Amino acid sequence: MGMLVDTTPLRVSPDFRRLWLGQAVSFVGSQVTAAALPYQVFHQTGSSLAVGLLGLAQLGPLLLFALVGGTWADSVDKRRLLLGVTAVALVCSAALAVNASLDHPRLWLLYVLGAVSSATLAVSLPVLRSIPPLLFGSDLRPAAFALQATYGSFGMMAGPAIGGALIAGLGITSAYAADVGTYAVALVAFRGISPSPPVEGAERASRSSLMRGLRFLRGSMVTSVLGVDLVAMVFGMPRALFPALTVRLGGGPVLYGLLVSSVAAGAFLASLMSGWTRRVSRQGTALLLAVTAWGGTIAVAGVTRVPLLVMAALAGAGAADMISGVYRYSIVADATPDDLRGRVSGVELAVYAGGPVLGDVEAGVVGGLVGVPFAIVSGGLACIVAAALFGTLVPKLTRYERSGVDLPSGAGGPDDHST
């Protein structure tokens, strides 16, 4: 039984139940849209480069608002901010549905709305990460994070598959419409959460408070953890190539959805069986080994034309990423002071979400210029090389050890990047 997710936070906190329900439902919908948007761009243009440019359009807002959102999360009422960004996200998905229903959907609007969606995500996730620690003592925080990780990996697994089925059966408009419905449910759930004003002594949102958070990272262990993850995501995540990979494998929308969801399926299964991770003390080494496994399985996915083997390799990559998330979360949590958690969470988001977006650009460019198999295999091998270099050049990360304290089972939550 010690291997199973602890549901105590859901039982003891009505606010957490509402937060968790709203997150769980809306996250599935957002993953439907995350799969539908690049699919629509690819099939309107026939270009993997165009899909990569979509990632570039999303990158700027994501990086900017991740930092701003982290600062806001430390300085304003978190419930009010969460309601505001959720409402904006709902309107954005509705606009995508309307555009998709046109006889000639506007390509430029996909880029604009993709950028707005990226900005709302960047503001909401630091808020969502900073509320649970205010609801629970240290004894229940790991369980609360594990619950978030479970719905997060499930949403990344189910959302793209649902999106593919909706596109195949009812058309792409239905995928965006489903996302609108999930945000409506989230708004109802979030309205029932108690107000969550800034903690006593919190700094007002300002340039100086943001800079204080950034200065903390200088020379911190957090920077090393974020660095190795950024390199792995830029070179190892071939998300922008999934539409073209689907064509290469001879499939359609359903296979596309399954390819995207395979990564999350591996992460979900790993989260259910992650109890052993708490017995590992050399967490820095474990992190580097997990990144190596991520790169190796991604490379395998690029050398075969058998869809089942590709999905199995992608699932293995998701499992490796989930395990690396356990140690990323633990090391960063240990190294971060309480009064900086919102701002550090914003920087984490900029890396964890911005890395795959940069990876979209890299994969789209290499895939468009050289070819899909080369782009996938070379990216995976680059991850292996990067892990080896970090292990050699950053010995404090390799030697990092945390003895005698359990890790949260299934860390690597919904702001992770296994999509």
H or E, element range at 359: helix 341-369
- Kindly state the average pLDDT of the residues 340-345: 69
DSSP of 251-303: --HHHHHHHHHHHHHHHHHHHHT-GGGGG---HHHHHHHHHHHHHHHHHHHTS
Are 317 and 255 in contact by the 8 Å Cβ rule? The answer is no
195 Rama sector, left if φ>0, alpha if ψ -120 to 50, beta otherwise: beta
- Given a cut of 70, whether residue 308 has pLDDT beyond it is yes
- Kindly state the average pLDDT of the residues 5-34: 87
How many C-beta atoms lie closer than 10 Å to residue 290's C-beta?
23
- Given a cut of 90, whether residue 412 has pLDDT beyond it is no
- Distance, in Å, from the CA atom of 38 to the CA atom of 45, rounded to the nearest integer, reads 10
Q: Please write the tens of the pLDDT for every residue from 89-142.
A: 999 999 999 999 998 889 999 999 999 988 888 888 888 877 777 777 655 665
For residue 187, the model assigns a pLDDT of 94
- Given a cut of 80, whether residue 330 has pLDDT beyond it is no
Of 110-119, 280-289, 378-387, the one with minimum mean pLDDT is 280-289
Which residue, chain included where needed, has tokens 């050289």? Answer: 370
How many C-beta atoms lie closer than 10 Å to residue 387's C-beta?
24
Summary mean pLDDT of the chain: 81
Which residue, chain included where needed, has tokens 């598959």? Answer: 161
For residue 173, the model assigns a pLDDT of 93
Of 174-178, 271-275, 295-299, the one with minimum mean pLDDT is 271-275
Measured over all CA atoms, what is the biggest interatomic distance in the chain, rounded to whole angstroms? Answer: 62
Six token digits for residue 327 = 């140690």
- Given a cut of 70, whether residue 360 has pLDDT beyond it is yes
H or E, element range at 216: helix 207-217
- Kindly state the average pLDDT of the residues 12-22: 91
Of 67-71, 303-307, 391-395, the one with minimum mean pLDDT is 67-71
Nearest to 413 by CA among 23, 3, 1, 2: 23
Helices (H) and strands (E) in the chain, counts: 17, 0
For residue 111, the model assigns a pLDDT of 93
Are 277 and 407 in contact by the 8 Å Cβ rule? The answer is yes
| Close Cβ partners of 290 (under 8 Å, ≥ 6 residues apart) | 320, 321, 323, 324, 327
- Given a cut of 90, whether residue 351 has pLDDT beyond it is no
| Confidence band of 201 (pLDDT split at 50, 70, 90) | low
Which residue, chain included where needed, has tokens 């968790």? Answer: 20
Residues of the chain with pLDDT > 70, as a percent, come to 83
